[in-house]
Structure 1
Amino acid sequence: MLNRYGSMRVETQPGSLSRGAELCSPMPTDSLLEDVVQWPRTVQSANSRSMNMATKADLEAFVSSVTCPDDFDDFWSSTLAGLAELPLEPAVTPDPLRSNDDVKVYQATYRSLDGLDIFGWYSVPAVGDGPFPAILVLPGYKSEPALRRDWGRKGVAVLSVAVRGKLPSSSGFNPGYPGLLTSGIESRETYGYRGVISDCSRGLDFLLSRPEIDPERIYASGSSQGGGLTLITAGLRPEIKGGVSGYPFLCCFPESMRMLRSYPYDELSCYSRAHPDRTGQMLETLRYFDAVNFAPRIKCPMVVGIALEDEVCPPETSYIAYDRLGGERELWLFPESGHGNAHDYPRQESAWLEQRIAASQPQAVAS
C-alpha cells in the first residue's frame, strides 16, 4: 500500500528486503544529496495526491539534517547593514476606489536590495489619527498580495507586500514560477531569496517610517511562502512583536526535496538532476535561507499552523521550524486538511492577532 507520501510498502519474499520495507524511488541527484538526507520517505508524484494523514507522533519523530552555517549571523547582519545604507524612499498614493468608510487604502512603494522599487497595499483605519498597531502581511509563492481592508474597522493598519517578482514589483526581477527557487542559487549573494527576504525587511522599515504607526505594536503574518517569510523576518528583525506562520514553506530544503515530487520544491530536484555537479553548492546556499535556521533567533510570540495532509509543505518540516523557535510558541494542528485549506485557520489567525494587539494597547495614565 502507499504510505502518506505515495511510497510503496511491499510484502517481500524471504531473503530479499525486510518484511514491510518501504520501496522509495531514489531521486537521481548527486550522491552528496543522498548523504545529507536521512529521512527515508519520498513523496507522491504530482499526479497522485493520495496521502494518509500525519500524526503528532510523526512530527515529533522527524529528524532534519539542516544545520546553521557558522557565518549565518554575519551574512545577514551584513545584508541588513547594506540595506540600511540604501535610501528607503517610501511613498504612498491614495487609492480612493479601494477605500471606504472604514479604511483608507494607499498604493505604497519603497526601495529595496539592488535598487528595486517594491509595491505594497497599505491600509490605514479611516477613523482616528493613530498611532495604530500594524500587521506586515507577507505573500505566498504564486499568489499576489491581498488587500486586507478587514483590519481597518478594527483599528489596525496593514502593509501587504508584493515582493520582487510579483506585480507590480516585477520590472527588475521576474524569474517566474517555477524559476524563483533556483534563481541565482549558485551563490548566497546572488540567490533570489536574498532579495525577497530583503523586501520583507524593508517592508518593516516602511511601517517604522510612518508617523501614524506605533513602532512597538507591529506584527507579521503569512501562509505558505508567506509563512516561511514570517518566520524569517521575525528572526531577522526583533521589532516584530509577534506573528502567525501558516503552512510554512522554505523549511528543511533537503528533506522536502526527497519527500515531494511536486512543485515548488521539485524545482530544486530538477535543478539537481540537470546540474549534478552543482548540488553541493545548491545545498550550501539553501542553508542561509532555510526558515529552520531563523527559528531559534525568534524571541517574540509565534504561532505555527500545520495541515496534517499538506502535500505542498510537508508537515514534518513545518514542525521542525516550530520545534526550534526561540521564544513563546504555539502550535495549531489541522487534521484532514491540506495545504492552505484548513477551515478554522483564518478565524484562529485573526483571533490570535486581535488578542495580542489588544493586550499591547498602552494603558492610559491616570491624571
Structure 2
Amino acid sequence: MAHFDLPEDQLARYRPELDVPDDLEEFWSSTLAEARGFDVDVELTLVDTGLRAVDAYDVTFSGFGGHRIKGWYVRPVGDDVVPAVVEYVGYGGGRGLPHERLAWAAAGWGHLVMDNRGQGSTWGTGGSTPDPAPAGRGVGGFMTRGIDDPHDHFYRRLFTDGVRAVDAVRTVAGVDPERVAVLGGSQGGATALAVAGLVPGLLAAMPDVPFMSHLARAVVLTDAYPYREVADHLRTHRGAEARVMRTLSYLDVATLGRTASAPGLFSAALMDLTCPPSTVFAAFNHYGHPAGSEIDVYRFNGHEGGEQLRWARQRAFLADLLR
C-alpha cells in the first residue's frame, strides 16, 4: 500500500477544527458520576499459571452500569509497591490468557489487562465479559451499536469501563496509585486516549495507531472496517448522517484527548488504511499535554504499526518520567 493520506510534513501540522458538542463535559461528567455510583468492588483471585516470577490474578470490577468487567492482573512476586499500567485491547479481542503478557510484570510493573465487553470472539484467545446493554439498530460490529443516541452507544460503555479499570487498579494493594499509565493499540489506543482525557493524575498515556479519532474524516477517508460500518449504515439509512455524526462526536478521542493531563507517547503508520495517519495526527496535535509528548511514525507500515518494538519504546518513555 502506497502513502495515501496527507504528506508527512502536512501531517505534522494537521490540527483540524473538531466538532465539539456544547454539552460534552456534562455528558461525560454525568456518565462517570453514574458509573462511580456503583462500588468498584475489585475482586482478585490468584490463579495457578505455573510461573514463579510473577503472580497472576483473575480480576473482576464494576464498569459502566455496575456491569461486572473481567481482566487479568499480573505483577512481580513480592510485596513491593509498584507502578502499574492498564492495557486496553483492540477491536474484537478480549483479555486472552494471563501468560500472554508478561513483559511489564517482568520489568517490575503491575499490569492490568481489561477485557472488552461484548467482544473477544474475533481474534486471540477469547474474552469473558458480556455486554448486557441492548444493541439497537445497526449493522454488524460495534460502531453502530446505539448509533442514534450517544447515551446508548457501545463506546460510551467501553470508555467508561476503561476509566473504571484505572479506578480499580488504584485500589489494589501494592500499586502506587500516583504512578498509573494507560496504553493500547487501535481500539485499545482509542480507549487509552479517552481515559487520558477523562482521568486526571495519570503518569502517561501511550496510544498506538488509535481508532475512533477525527471521526468526521475517518468515515469518509477509508473504506476499511470498522469505519466502513458507519458508511454501511448510512448507505441504508439515507438522511441519518447528521444524527449519526452527532452521536459519534461525543466519542471522538481527538476531542476527548484535548483535556488530557499526562504526557503522551503516540504512534502512527503512514500506510494504515484502518486508522489513517491524519486521524492519528489530529489527536496528537490536539492532545492536552503537548509538553513531553511524542509521536513515532512508521513510514512503511500499515495498521500493525511498530508491533513488538513498541514495548521497549514505552518502557523507556515511562522510565524517563519516573526519573
The TM-score normalised by the length of structure 1 is: 0.79
Q: 1:305 to 1:358 in 2, by over 3 A?
A: closer
RMSD of aligned residue pairs (Cα, Å): 2.1
CA distance in 2, matches of 1:72, 1:180: 21
Aligned to 2:314: 352
Deviation of 1:188 (Å)? 1.2
* Conservation of the 8 A alpha-carbon contact between 1:135 and 1:221: yes
CA offset digits 1:24-83 (Å, max 9, x no partner): xxxxxxxxxxxxxxxxxxxxxxxxxx4336531241465645321111111111111111
Q: Structure 2 residue aligned with 1:336, among 286, 300, 306? A: 300
CA distance in 2, matches of 1:270, 1:305: 28
CA distance in 1, matches of 2:163, 2:304: 24
Aligned to 2:66: 115
Aligned to 1:264: 226
* Conservation of the 8 A alpha-carbon contact between 2:55 and 2:75: yes
Question: In the alignment, residue 121 of structure 1 is paired with which amino acid?
Answer: W
Deviation of 1:254 (Å)? 1.6
How many pairs align?
308
Aligned to 1:125: 76
Counterparts of 1:249-288 in structure 2, within 5 Å, are: 249-288=211-250
SS at match of 1:92: strand
CA offset digits 1:323-366 (Å, max 9, x no partner): 00121310101111110143xx53344333344246526xxxxx
Aligned to 2:27: 75
Matched, 1:235 2:197: yes
The TM-score normalised by the length of structure 2 is: 0.89
Q: Structure 2 residue aligned with 1:246, among 204, 208, 214? A: 208
Q: Structure 2 residue aligned with 1:148, among 101, 126, 134? A: 101
CA distance in 2, matches of 1:252, 1:153: 36
Q: Structure 1 residue aligned with 2:57, among 68, 91, 106? A: 106
Q: 1:226 to 1:99 in 2, by over 3 A?
A: farther
* Conservation of the 8 A alpha-carbon contact between 1:307 and 1:315: yes
Counterparts of 1:303-318 in structure 2, within 5 Å, are: 303-318=265-280
Matched, 1:319 2:246: no
Task: Identify unmatched segments of 5+ residues in structure 2.
Answer: 120-126
Q: 1:99 to 1:294 in 2, by over 3 A?
A: farther
SS at match of 1:182: coil
Structure showing greater radius of gyration is: 1
SS at match of 1:118: strand
* Conservation of the 8 A alpha-carbon contact between 2:268 and 2:305: no
Matched, 1:291 2:253: yes
Aligned to 1:13: none
Greater mean deviation of Cα atoms: 60-69 or 275-284: 60-69
Greater mean deviation of Cα atoms: 50-59 or 186-195: 50-59
Deviation of 1:198 (Å)? 0.9
Deviation of 1:148 (Å)? 1.8
| Paired-residue identity, % | 27
